[in-house]
Amino acid sequence: MTALFPDAAAIVSALGSFLDPDNTFSRTECARLDVEEEFPAAICRDLDRLGLPAQYVPVAQGGRLHDHAALVHVVRRISRRDLTVAVAHAKTFLGAACVWVTGSAGQRARLAGDVLAGVPVAWGLTEPDHGSDLVATGFAAERAPGGYRLTGVKWPINNATRGGLMCVLARTGETAERGPRALSLFLLDKRTLPPGTIECLPKTPTHGIRGADISGLRLSGAPAGPDALVGEPGTGLDTVLRALQLTRVMCTGLSLGAADQALQLIHEYVRERFLYQRLLIEMPHVRRTLGECCARLLLAEAVSMFASRSAHTLTGELAVTSALVKAFVPAVVDELISVGAEVLGARAFLTTVYADGAFAKLERDHRIVAIFDGNMAVNRNAVVNHLPALARYGDGAEFAAAVRHAATLDRPLPPIGELSLRSRTGTSVLRTLPSAVAELRGPARELGDALVTVAERLRTEAGRVRPSVRDVPAEAFELVERYEWAFAAAAAVHVAVANRDRRSTEPWWCDDRWLRGVLTLALDRLRAPLPAGAEQVFDELAGTLTIAERPSILPAADMEGE
Amino acid sequence: MNALRTYVTERVAYYLERDAATIETDMSLPDHGLDSVLALALCGDIEDHLGVRLDPTAVWDYPTIDALLTYLSGAVAEAKP
């Protein structure tokens, strides 16, 4: 099959081999930059030259973005080499997203010009005293002749210093006003602000992504003309909440790339390392662990591809879909990395011995993905508030076509529809699960039936949760975690039934192999009884790794070209 | 209208975990703890209850029960042919 994402393949192949130290974007260079805590400036310039910024700009504005799965995938391909580089570069999409969602035609055109020219854009939401609590934003925008004057501190912010532009959330209402209508968004051009009104705060040392520009911005009466205001005054929070739906989906690409990298390092190690006169990969428990790691990656990939495609066909559900995948995908990949670290033993811990210490670096770098752009608690909280609605809806037959469209990986997508702050229809993926499972046969059907039973029980439990002003009880978070697993597994079923006829000769697809692997993993996690011998699928997956290398549901052409 | 007032007041009391009798219809909902996210959930409940589509941020724009009811009566009238 030809590549689904040819732009990403072209960019990656133009970068040259990651293992050749003479290339700018090489493992050796990334390790050096990390040790020196140096920004990957030359690598980012290369990515600019190769057209990566166009992937962040909608087609209507002269860019190449028309499919959010392609955006996830290109971020994945860069992250597979180095997460610091991906976080540093892809941040521009986060900074620009609010303008794409609600900006005026003039703002969109100007921003597109800057992004396409390689100007980094930052997103200024977080403030020193109230990280995730956006309604508490203190950064002030006061009315002034000719527009506004902005005063306050944004910190810690990715690309705060290097960004030429920053999209900031500011308080246009009264200081005492708690309501969401007190907040507005501004797109600031840092390059044109008068001296004395702007100061970049120094880079903050970080545990992972050490080379990234995690710094801050202090403004003191900086002028902003009316053309800097993004959307109407008072619409800042709803625009941010809509844009976050797109950026949270994009973040799954960071985790997928990290998982690709981790699995590659683990696999290389276990097939070369001798212990007690045997190769590690020949030991049953190592093979089992390796297969489980493949299943984690395949599940993360299936749900990320589905979610990003569903942004186009089930846009109204993205408020809940994006929160589910932003909580789930980084968590399951963190799990893959920590299980992998056990297999690697000391090699995961030593920073120079194996693959330039890439595994230890990866482990540190990936921690940030679960934290930024809404941490796990923020996302799970968003799902908790949806739970009564998720429990209430019927079979969702009217959305079966939209689900199938999203699941059919090679089917072109319509432009993204209107983003809503709340899903009126719950999650159609779970509502239409029984009809998709009915298309499965054999061992996959048995696993699918078990998933339907679990999903129905979850729906009943969801109906008992009561969102309220009180802190969310730990049980509700635990329920959301199980809901994430069920959602991911259901998305995998839809993807499998929609594509398997055309893919059944490929190693990961043959005999529903990848689907049986991810369902076994998910059902085990959901404490559902497994059919006898189901776990043997993990040995099959480990065996497939030796013939097909990269575990992926995508065509091999999308994963080649390193 | 009285039935709708009772319904909305009861939903607000549910989210705030207070007795409905203690809810004043002119009190500011955000000031009494109904945060921006719960406001979206409340709006969804009302939408389902009335069977009309509302702007999800209606409770942000009409942050007291009285203001919300005025808005809702308009939205319901508009939805009827």
Query: What is the 3 state secondary structure string of B16-55?
Result: HCCCHHHCCCCCCCHHHCCCHHHHHHHHHHHHHHHCCCCC
Q: Hunting for tokens 């209430």 — which residue is that?
A: A392
Q: What is the DSSP string of A314-382?
A: SGGGHHHHHHHHHHHHHHHHHHHHHHHHHHHGGGGT-SSSSGGGHHHHHHHHHHHHHHSSS-HHHHHHH
Task: For domain A243-558, give its CATH number from 3.40.1280.10, 3.50.50.60, 1.20.140.10, 3.40.50.1100.
Answer: 1.20.140.10
Best interface-test mutation with B: which of A181, A183, A318, A381 has the largest number of B CBs within 10 A? A181
Scanning A271-317, the segments in alpha helix (DSSP H) are 284-313
Q: Chunked in runs of 10, what are the mean pLDDT values of chain A (562 residues)?
A: 94 95 96 96 98 98 98 98 97 98 97 98 92 85 95 96 97 77 96 96 92 96 96 95 97 98 94 83 92 98 98 96 97 96 78 80 94 83 85 81 98 95 91 96 98 95 83 88 97 98 95 98 97 96 91 94 72
Q: Which residues in chain A are classed under CATH 2.40.110.10?
A: 122-238
Interatomic CA distance for residues A42 and A302, integer angstroms: 33
Please name which of A158, A168, A214 lies closest in space to residue A190, comparing C-alpha atoms: A168
The pLDDT score that the predictor gives to residue A275 is 78
The pLDDT score that the predictor gives to residue A9 is 95
Interatomic CA distance for residues A442 and A386, integer angstroms: 35
Task: Measure in Å the smallest separation between the Cα of B81 and chain A Cα atoms.
Answer: 23
Q: Which residues in chain A are classed under CATH 1.20.140.10?
A: 243-558
Task: For domain A122-238, give its CATH number from 1.10.3720.10, 2.40.110.10, 2.40.110.20, 3.10.20.70.
Answer: 2.40.110.10
Nearest beta carbon to residue A179 from set B40, B47, B63? B63
Q: What CATH number does the domain containing B58 carry?
A: 1.10.1200.10
Interatomic CA distance for residues A344 and A338, integer angstroms: 10
Please name which of A62, A58, A51 lies closest in space to residue A6, comparing C-alpha atoms: A51
The pLDDT score that the predictor gives to residue A372 is 81
Q: So what's the architecture of A6-119 in CATH?
A: Orthogonal Bundle (1.10)
Mean pLDDT (chain B) is: 90
Cα atoms in the 13 Å half-sphere on the side-chain side of A371: 15
Scanning A188-317, the segments in alpha helix (DSSP H) are 236-270, 284-313
Contact A180 B14 (CB under 8 A): no
Task: Measure in Å the smallest separation between the Cα of B64 and chain A Cα atoms.
Answer: 12
Please name which of A431, A229, A478 lies closest in space to residue A314, comparing C-alpha atoms: A431
Q: Is the pLDDT of residue B81 over 70?
A: no
pTM, full prediction: 0.96
The pLDDT score that the predictor gives to residue A300 is 98
Best interface-test mutation with A: which of B18, B23, B28, B37 has the largest number of A CBs within 10 A? B37
Read off the tokens for B49: 């209850």
Interatomic CA distance for residues A70 and A311, integer angstroms: 12
The pLDDT score that the predictor gives to residue A550 is 92
Q: Is the pLDDT of residue B56 over 70?
A: yes
Q: Which residues in chain A are classed under CATH 1.10.540.10?
A: 6-119
Phi then psi dihedrals of residue A38, to 5 deg: -105, 140
Range of the domain at B18: 2-79
β-partners of residue A142 are A149
Q: Hunting for tokens 């009126």 — which residue is that?
A: A424
Q: Is A135 on the interface with B (CB under 8 A)?
A: yes
Contact B41 A422 (CB under 8 A): yes
- Tell me if A68 sits within 8 A of A246, measured CB to CB: yes
End-to-end CA distance of chain B: 19
Quote the DSSP letter at residue A148: E
The pLDDT score that the predictor gives to residue A312 is 98
Nearest beta carbon to residue B44 from set A180, A382, A389? A389
Nearest beta carbon to residue B56 from set A388, A421, A467? A421
